Structure 1
Amino acid sequence: MYVYGSMAIQRIFRTIPLLATVAAIGAAAGLLYAELTGGRSLLAGMIYGAVIAVTVLTVERGLVFRSAQQRMRQWPTFIYVPAMEVISVVLALIGFAIGGAISWTAGLVTGSLIEATVPTLQALIYSLLIAAVLVSFTRMRDLLGHEVFKSLLLGRYHKPVEERRIFLFLDVVGSTAFARRYGDLRAQNYLAAVFAAIAEPVRQHGGAIDDYIGDMAMITWPEPQGIEQGRCIACVFAILSTFEANRTAWLTRFGQVPEFHAALHGGNIVTAEIGIDRHKISYFGDVVNTTARIEALCRPLGASVLVSAELLARIPALPTGIRAFPKGEHLLKGLDHAIGIVSLKPNPATDRRSVLPPVREAEPALVPD
């Protein structure tokens, strides 16, 4: 059975590796500061640095005060930026106080508790600089995607690599009609809100949003991760469940709830890093084109979610509450053989919300201005 915990708990577990990395970087920065200034023991410097870094990233990642942070992102830039600067100072002070309390209790620093928990101006400025570097690091990681960011850092795809991957093409239905009705600017706001809303379910299921092509998002998994517990399939229905749970907010903001045509397929591809001024991880092979052509079958087959029978056969079991309906074999352009196509739907006899990942009630942040 496919088992889900609460989204908050899952978010924390997914963030643990990042927080551990950030804590290590913060500890190294604290060690360097203690070495340069000689004001505190090296171990105390590491504790200060690690705690400040984790405190800043805990809030920046939305592990606490998530709803408030999402609402703040809707503020005008000239208000949001100064507000975040003030919050960064407050977080650095809180982190310093916690690190100081730990160090003072452990006997690693001398003097009073106040002296241990209140930073000097020099220490505060240094803390803010390190926090800014760490936040920039994590936001660059988000911009490129965790897997792509890691691969670029390690040079994994500096030379082309053959591997097996799963692709999900997620096409927003009706975006062209929306643009005709409301104009291109409002349509772009709509698509930006839609793509922002799918990010969390994708992360939750271990996928990476590789690219946006017009009104379509391309999501990918290394095959072992994607087929484990049917993650790639569960991701699609988690996205649909998220939009359904926030129906009122979408109707209020945009007058409609997003709908999709989705296609899943996987197989052998060649992955390579391309570009000079702007690096990018690109995929080469029939699998990507085939996924796009499977998505194009959604409308003529009257289906919202299609998967190739080839991929479905490699998934040990469907997530609970999802049923498969064969749609026959189809000869797709570019292929010399027909492939089986299967439609996926929630079991009508089951309450979809009971078998899909739990989602929060409607939040205005999912449909930002």
Structure 2
Amino acid sequence: MPPFRAGVWILAPAAGALAGLLYGLVFEIEPLVSAIRGAFIGAPVLLYERGVLMRRWRDLIRRTATPVFGVATVATYVAMIVLGNAAAGTVLHHGFGYMADARVAMRMTETGFAYALGISALATFVLRVRDLMGPRVFASLLVGRYHRAITEERIFLFLDVAGSTRFAEEHGDLAAQTWLGAIFNALALPVRRSQGSIDDYIGDMALVSWSMDRGVRDAACLECVFDFLRIVEADAERWIDRFGQVPTFRAALHCGPVVTAEIGLERRKIAYFGDTLNTTSRLEGLAKELGAGIVVSGDLLDRLTHLPGHIHVSDLGVRALRGRKEPLRIAAVRTLRTVKAAS
């Protein structure tokens, strides 16, 4: 269950009430009536999209193809609209004496239903685009944050699925893709919890990043990796039943300055340029050579001033990295809690 956030419970009905007031303004409906109906209809939809209500159902349909996602989401919205309107009518009748008959107060006009459904369908489309692009990329493109290239400090995680080539040889490319898809689906929640961003998938590797302040806060970037490994381990039986094995991983984390910019015309993307990203890639390769499950650069460790007690750091010394002039101090990290990482 997502952590309780009072702000979401305040903003959701407020946004719904504003949408209702807009409808009332256009169709000359009493403000109190339109605001209450908007709040009761809009709040459940917004709370659902924020993962507060019906999270398991929401996560399930988000994994489906876009047509199935659209139909299932709109159907969910319709149910919420009908129930929300009925609740609003009950409150208006019993709380404010609106209409003499409660059943009449609970009815919804065709125009009102079409308005609510239209707004919901538009929200479905926008949110699906956001899912395809990634929340951070979507928001950044909307506000034009990286329309002009900027230099910023970020933390990067290269998370590589171990044994994917062997899995593909044994089960075929289609089965391997299904396996990788399930793994990366499992990664989404830990990244969201840590306020990171999945920026790209490159074969069997996921590229995750954080702004410096979010990533170092409570060692969120490391906690994301361990959170992910715990989720996978807790579902070990399901992985074995479905794929015949529990996936294992290698992870490398590093931080530093990068140039971030929008690129492309037909298909826009936010891309990173600089040595920091290349170093993280080389670090992941070194982890494989050393047989280490999770490696972290000294640069990042120096920023993580308050490591949680369950994280243990083993110094691996200063190592030369291919393509980099200066050697880099690195360390292996593990958690004292039970997780499984590649070796």
- TM > 0.5 between the two? yes
Out of 102, 112, 115, the residue aligned to residue 113 of structure 1 is 102
Matched, 1:34 2:24: yes
Q: Which moved more, 1:134-143 or 1:162-171?
A: 134-143
Matched, 1:190 2:146: no
Amino acid at match of 1:137: V
TM-aligned CA distance change 1:273 to 1:304, over 3 Å: same
TM-aligned CA distance change 1:71 to 1:231, over 3 Å: closer
Matches of 1:172 and 1:328, distance apart in 2: 25
The answer to whether the 8 Å contact 2:148/2:262 transfers is yes
Structure 2 match to 1:360 = none
Segments of 5+ residues of structure 1 without an aligned counterpart are 1-7, 354-369
Deviation at 1:139, TM superposition (A): 3.0
Deviation at 1:300, TM superposition (A): 1.4
Deviation at 1:100, TM superposition (A): 2.9
Matched, 1:172 2:161: yes
Matched, 1:277 2:266: yes
Question: Whose relative contact order is higher, 1 or 2, with alpha carbons under 8 Å and at least 6 apart?
Answer: 1
Q: What SS class does the counterpart of residue 276 from structure 1 fall into?
A: coil
Deviation at 1:270, TM superposition (A): 1.0
Q: CA RMSD in A?
A: 2.5
Matches of 1:137 and 1:75, distance apart in 2: 16
Q: Which moved more, 1:219-228 or 1:273-282?
A: 273-282
Matches of 1:122 and 1:101, distance apart in 2: 20
Segments of 5+ residues of structure 2 without an aligned counterpart are none
TM-aligned CA distance change 1:79 to 1:311, over 3 Å: closer
Matched, 1:301 2:277: no
Deviation at 1:63, TM superposition (A): 2.8
Out of 38, 52, 56, the residue aligned to residue 49 of structure 1 is 38
Q: What SS class does the counterpart of residue 266 from structure 1 fall into?
A: strand
Deviation at 1:345, TM superposition (A): 1.0
Matches of 1:250 and 1:258, distance apart in 2: 8
Deviation at 1:179, TM superposition (A): 0.7
Matched, 1:234 2:223: yes
The answer to whether the 8 Å contact 1:41/1:108 transfers is no
TM-aligned CA distance change 1:238 to 1:74, over 3 Å: closer
Matches of 1:293 and 1:344, distance apart in 2: 17
The answer to whether the 8 Å contact 1:165/1:222 transfers is yes
Structure 1 match to 2:114 = 125
The answer to whether the 8 Å contact 1:205/1:235 transfers is yes
Matches of 2:204 and 2:270, distance apart in 1: 20
Q: What SS class does the counterpart of residue 96 from structure 2 fall into?
A: coil
The answer to whether the 8 Å contact 1:43/1:108 transfers is no
Matched, 1:91 2:113: no
Q: Which moved more, 1:70-79 or 1:250-259?
A: 70-79
- Deviations along 1:178-234, one digit per CA (max 9) or x if unpaired, are 111111111111111110010001101111101101111000000011001100011
TM-aligned CA distance change 1:217 to 1:269, over 3 Å: same
TM-aligned CA distance change 1:276 to 1:100, over 3 Å: farther
The answer to whether the 8 Å contact 1:60/1:135 transfers is no
Amino acid at match of 2:163: G
The answer to whether the 8 Å contact 2:73/2:124 transfers is no
Tell me the matched-pair count.
339
TM-aligned CA distance change 1:83 to 1:279, over 3 Å: closer
The answer to whether the 8 Å contact 1:190/1:254 transfers is yes
Q: What SS class does the counterpart of residue 297 from structure 1 fall into?
A: helix
Deviation at 1:314, TM superposition (A): 0.9
Matches of 2:141 and 2:257, distance apart in 1: 21
Matches of 1:142 and 1:84, distance apart in 2: 14
Q: How does 1:203-242 map to 2 (within 5 A)?
A: 203-242=192-231
Amino acid at match of 2:138: F
Amino acid at match of 1:273: E
Amino acid at match of 2:281: A
> TM-score if structure 2 supplies the norm length?
0.90
The answer to whether the 8 Å contact 2:164/2:176 transfers is yes
Matches of 1:208 and 1:328, distance apart in 2: 30
Deviation at 1:113, TM superposition (A): 2.6
Matches of 2:11 and 2:140, distance apart in 1: 16
Amino acid at match of 1:33: Y
Matches of 1:152 and 1:77, distance apart in 2: 22
